[in-house]
Amino acid sequence: MPISVGDAIPAVKVMQATAEGPKEVDTGEFFKGRTVVLFGVPGAFTPTCSAKHMPSFVENADALKAKGVDAIACMAVNDVFVMGAWAKDQGVTDQVAMLADGAAVFTKAMGLEFDLTARGLGVRCQRFALVAKDGKVTHVAVEAPGAFEVSSGQAVLAAL
């Protein structure tokens, strides 16, 4: 069952790509006591993720923070080094935390996995965006496969 409004963000360990190198992050602690926008993508460097999804959050970072968002995070079922390289490629600095869910543990705990093994990609994260306040989901939007309509930075901004 996919995560929904009112659910708690699962507490698991993921890796964050930082300027100082990989850092282990407990998602329970990451979301605790603040308002966080989390968006998930099927994969770093993939066409829609790179051309539309990531840029929509980078472009709206200041507006989201003006609406009370303390942190914006991007998550993908990729390793931390790929997430770091993608951040560099996309010009992402500290406005978006890059969370690597390499084994899809966080993705599965949220019920947002989908299997793209037949396309050579393995288990991936569905495209989504959510808002959590103090670790509780207040808004969630999951895209239909192949769509990019409800999980953009603009859509989240409008939902706040």
Please say if 125 is a catalytic residue: no
What stretch of H or E contains 125? strand 123-125
55, 63, 158 from 95: Cα distances, Å: 11, 11, 19
- Give SS3 for 56: helix
Residue count of the chain, please give it: 160
d(CA 99, CA 41) in angstroms, rounded, equals 11
- Give SS3 for 67: coil
Instruction: Choose, from 49, 76, 112, 131, the residue flagged as catalytic.
Output: 49
Q: Which of 25, 12, 20 is CA-nearest to residue 71?
A: 25
Cβ atoms within 10 Å of 126's Cβ, excluding its own = 19
Q: DSSP per residue over 91-109, as a string?
A: T--TTSEEEE-TTSHHHHH
Which residues are catalytically annotated?
A: 49
